[in-house]
Amino acid sequence: MLNVQALSKVYGKRKILDTVSFAAKPGEIIGLVGENGAGKSTMLHILAALSKPTSGTITLHNKSYETESKLVKKEIGFVPQDIALWDDFTVEENMLFFEKLAWHHKNKDELKQLCRDMKLDHWDEPVKTLSGGMKRKLNIAISLIHEPNLLLLDEPTVGIDLKSRKEIGAYLSDLAKQDGKIILYTSHDMDEIMQLCDRIYCIGNDPFYYQVLKEYGENPVLL
Amino acid sequence: MKQIMATRFMHWKKQWVSIIFWLLFPILATTGITAITETLQDDTKVPVGIVMEEQTAASEELVQDIKSTPFIRAEILSENQSLHDLEKHELDSVFVIHEGFEENVQRDHRDRLITSFQSDLSFAYSAVKEMILSYVQQETGRSKAAFVVQELEQQHNGNTGWTYEEITAKSKEIQQDENLLDTAFSFDDTVMEANQTPPLFPIWGLWSICTLLSTMLVFDWVIKEKRSKAILRLAFSRWSLKSYLLQNFMLYSVVLFLVDLVTVSIFLFMFGEWISVVSLIVYRLFINMAAFLFAHLFRNTLLYYTVSFALVLIVGISSGAVLPAASIDSPAWFDFVNPLAPLLSGEYVNLWSVMIMVLAVFWLVRKERFHA
């Protein structure tokens, strides 16, 4: 269970997040929407324990972010907005590289299976020759090597084709439902968000996304 | 560490050509530059023809003495050939060691031991003649002294039974051991002791500069990996960014030190040059630390390479590692901050080393930040 209580983040005089509270259960996929600069990435960074909130508390499976951050980090998988891979390495080398540094070790077959599950077949190809969709899939696959309970994805499907997008969505959906992972997902694609997420949170003061989602027949929560 | 080694080998596998090149660069550059310099020096030597009418120990020794003179390139030729070459001005001068040279030297007969020839274009004849003369006088003097010792022994009924060969051999041994000829130089009222030898040979000076450059360029991995988005993933791995960088630093240091040990063996074998291994370890450690910390200041590798080349050039010129620093008007404090100074003077640390240590401690205690 992920519990976020009265979370605020202030940069200088600018308040990015203002007493945000929500909870997420295992198996849930939560979508975060909002205009650029609304604080979606900031929220993910705080939930990934990459930056600290100005105030508020977060717990993941009863482990406090403040006092047990090292233990919490073992349970987090973070997929950054940018492709965080070694470009001159092959898919295999990237997987093996990060496996060596991971908390939980996996053998080569398990890593290969993880890629296959994501419909990522180009095991021996260098990353620089992969399509955008394949790179995105590998970006996600690496974040799953250590089997995290909380998966945070910052616009993971931006700029890729529909087929890859659907494959990634299907995989994440299975991951949440079958393995009980908590998934937080940011995107600007409303169709994708509505199809994939169990709940949607609108971040920021702009009511635009809220209105759009209402028009889509969703019941978003304003954070 | 095993895991970090495995990940590092994956990087090295991708860049093996450049890694090998920069690891071997100091050895290749030092031996290459030394070989070229020696060839150029050889071309600028005075060509002298030697004609040996007898092949005795004394005449052979004289030829060796002449050959070992830095500014002379001596060739053993026949009399006809040497005179022909002299006429064509391919030789500066010709010296004929006459038959009976050894016998005459031993008997202290100094007349007509050697005949010399010069041409109208011989520019170094006088200097070479004087030098050869000094060698001959040295030998005749030694020979005379040997006979005097033997005579004195006989007069005083000594029973040591020293032979002529034993006495001359002992004389040469003493000459070498006591370094009878010593020269003192002075620059700008600064008196150097006559027996003060240079701290190290230029081979190590040259190597220290090439190594400084190669180390800085090898450590570009710090910039490349720190600016890569992939490094963000370390926040969710068993190692922190700092620990990852530190372990890689140690790995690089071990590899570079192993290459240094190979260099010591090669230089010892090729040039007969030796260096204190402790000084070398300390130098290696500090330049690695300096390159590692310096690379942290950059995000652009091209700028880093440019600044590295410029810094190495400045250090190379002003350190005295290759060019004689005494002739350059460098401020006195420069020795304290010169990274090459401890190695070249056979010491271990200076102010520069202390500064690097302080910066390293500062880096170690500083909090790391990730930017996604």
DSSP code per residue over B142-178: HHHHHHHHHHHHHHTT------HHHHHHHHHHHHHHH
* pLDDT (0 to 100) of residue B198: 43
Phi/psi at A126 (nearest 5 deg)? -65, 145
**Count of all residues that appear for chain B in the document:** 372
Which residue of chain B is at minimal alpha-carbon distance from A148?
Answer: B236
- Measured between CA atoms, how close is B365 to chain A, in angstroms? 18
From CA B229, how far away is CA A126, in angstroms rounded? 17
- Domains belonging to chain A, first-starting first, are 2-222 (3.40.50.300)
From CA B53, how far away is CA B55, in angstroms rounded? 7
- Of B94-103, B321-330, B351-360, where does mean pLDDT reach its minimum? B321-330
Phi/psi at A11 (nearest 5 deg)? -110, 110
CB contacts of B229 in chain A (<8 Å) are: 80, 82-85
* pLDDT tens digit sequence for A142-172: 999 988 999 999 888 888 888 888 888 888 8
Tell me the pLDDT band of B25, cut-offs 50, 70 and 90.
very high
Q: Would you call B76 helix, strand, or coil by DSSP?
A: strand
CB contacts of B14 in chain A (<8 Å) are: 88-89
Tokens of A133: 């969709």
* pLDDT (0 to 100) of residue B21: 94
- Asked if B370 lies within 8 A of A50 by C-beta distance, the reply is yes
Mean pLDDT of B238-250: 91
From CA B348, how far away is CA B342, in angstroms rounded? 5
Write the residue in B229, B234, B239 that is nearest to A80 by C-beta. Answer: B229
Which amino acid would we find at residue A140?
Answer: I
Under-70 pLDDT residues of chain A: 205-206, 208-223
pLDDT at B180 exceeding the cut of 60: no
Give the closest residue to A143 by CA, choosing from A48, A69, A24, A65.
A48
Tell me the pLDDT band of B193, cut-offs 50, 70 and 90.
very low
From CA B372, how far away is CA B361, in angstroms rounded? 26
pLDDT at B200 exceeding the cut of 50: no
Tell me the pLDDT band of B195, cut-offs 50, 70 and 90.
very low
- Asked if B228 lies within 8 A of A86 by C-beta distance, the reply is yes
Tell me the pLDDT band of B257, cut-offs 50, 70 and 90.
very high
Which residue of chain B is at minimal alpha-carbon distance from A96?
Answer: B7
- Measured between CA atoms, how close is B233 to chain A, in angstroms? 7
Which of A44, A46, A50 to probe by mutation at the B interface, max B CB count within 10 Å?
Answer: A50
Give the closest residue to B139 by CA, choosing from B105, B164, B99.
B105
- Asked if A78 lies within 8 A of B372 by C-beta distance, the reply is yes
From CA B124, how far away is CA B127, in angstroms rounded? 5
Tell me the pLDDT band of B3, cut-offs 50, 70 and 90.
confident
- Measured between CA atoms, how close is A51 to chain B, in angstroms? 8
- Of B103-107, B286-290, B317-321, where does mean pLDDT reach its minimum? B317-321
Count of C-beta atoms within a 10 Å radius of residue A136: 26
* pLDDT tens digit sequence for B77-129: 998 898 999 898 889 999 999 888 888 887 777 778 889 998 888 888 888 88
Tokens of A96: 């093996």
- Of A156-165, B34-43, B65-74, where does mean pLDDT reach its minimum? B34-43
CB contacts of B238 in chain A (<8 Å) are: 101-103
Which residue of chain A is at minimal alpha-carbon distance from B236?
Answer: A73
- Measured between CA atoms, how close is B220 to chain A, in angstroms? 16
* pLDDT (0 to 100) of residue B323: 62
* pLDDT (0 to 100) of residue B301: 93
Tokens of A117: 């599950």
Count of C-beta atoms within a 10 Å radius of residue A12: 5
From CA A222, how far away is CA B162, in angstroms rounded? 112
The reply to whether A84 touches chain B by the CB within 8 Å rule is yes
Instruction: Report residue A75 CA to chain centroid gap.
Output: 13
ipTM of the complex: 0.84
Write the residue in B3, B6, B229 that is nearest to A82 by C-beta. Answer: B229
Count of C-beta atoms within a 10 Å radius of residue B263: 20
CB contacts of B245 in chain A (<8 Å) are: none
Which amino acid would we find at residue A64?
Answer: S
From CA B256, how far away is CA A134, in angstroms rounded? 38
DSSP summary character for residue B234: G
What stretches of chain A show up as alpha helix (H) in DSSP? 40-47, 69-74, 91-101, 108-117, 132-143, 162-179, 190-196, 208-215
Chain mean pLDDT for chain B: 82
Which helix (DSSP H) or strand (DSSP E) does residue B269 occupy? helix B241-271
* pLDDT (0 to 100) of residue B123: 83
Phi/psi at B4 (nearest 5 deg)? -65, -40
- Tokens 């007509």 belong to B112
Tokens of B181: 């000829």
What stretches of B179-240 show up as alpha helix (H) in DSSP? 202-218, 221-227
Give the number of beta-carbon pairs within 8 Å between A and B. Answer: 69
Q: Are strands B93-97 and B114-118 parallel, antiparallel or unpaired?
A: antiparallel
Phi/psi at B219 (nearest 5 deg)? -80, 15
Tell me the pLDDT band of B58, cut-offs 50, 70 and 90.
confident
Mean pLDDT of B22-46: 85
